[in-house]
């Protein structure tokens, strides 16, 4: 599962460019900083490679395996 802290994002689009599975897209909305944060659009395609998390210069993306809920 991918979680984006939208208010930490500065809108550099590195996560969108380096996602091998095109999971992310830039959204139309504005965050607190006045930039467009990315949006998770195809989460089912994500293979948890963690590229977006690794390359995010602002520690705004977290990728983790989904915990099974009871």
Partner 1 sequence: MKLVHPLMKYVRPGAISTATCTGCGDGIIAQAVLRAIDELELNIDDFVFVSGIGCAGWIPSPFFNADTLHTTHGRPIAFATGVKLARPDREVVVISGDGDLAAIGGNHLIHAARRNIGMTVICANNGIYGMTGGQVAPTTPLGLKTTTTPYGNVERAFDLCALTDAAGASYVARWTTYHARGLTRSVKKALTKRGFSFIEVISQCPLQYGRRTGVGNAVAMMKGYKENSLSVKKAASLSEEELKNKIIVGELVDKDMPELTEQIEKLRRIHE
Cβ burial 39-54 (10 Å sphere, 16+ → b, else e): ebeeeeebeeeebbbe
Residue 28 or 69: the one with the smaller Cβ distance to partner 1 is 69
Query: In the set 6, 14, 24, 31, which binds partner 1 (CB under 8 A)?
Result: 14
Pick the stretch among 21-29, 36-44, 56-64 that binds partner 1 (CB under 8 A).
Answer: 56-64
Q: Assign residue 14 a region: left if phi > 0, alpha if psi is -120 to 50, beta otherwise?
A: alpha
In 1-70, which ranges are continuous DSSP H helix? Answer: 14-17, 51-55
48 binding partner 1? (CB under 8 A): no
3 binding partner 1? (CB under 8 A): yes
Q: Which of 60, 59, 10, 61 is nearest to 34 (CA)?
A: 10
Query: In the set 19, 23, 52, 56, which binds partner 1 (CB under 8 A)?
Result: 56
Pick the stretch among 7-15, 21-29, 36-44 that binds partner 1 (CB under 8 A).
Answer: 7-15
């Amino acid at each position: 599962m991918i979680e984006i802290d939208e208010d930490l994002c500065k809108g550099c689009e590195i996560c969108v460019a380096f996602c091998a599975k095109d999971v992310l897209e830039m959204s139309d909305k504005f965050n607190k900083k006045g930039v467009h944060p990315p949006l998770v659009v195809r989460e089912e395609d994500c293979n948890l490679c963690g590229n977006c998390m690794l390359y995010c210069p602002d520690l705004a993306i977290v990728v983790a395996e989904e915990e099974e809920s009871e």
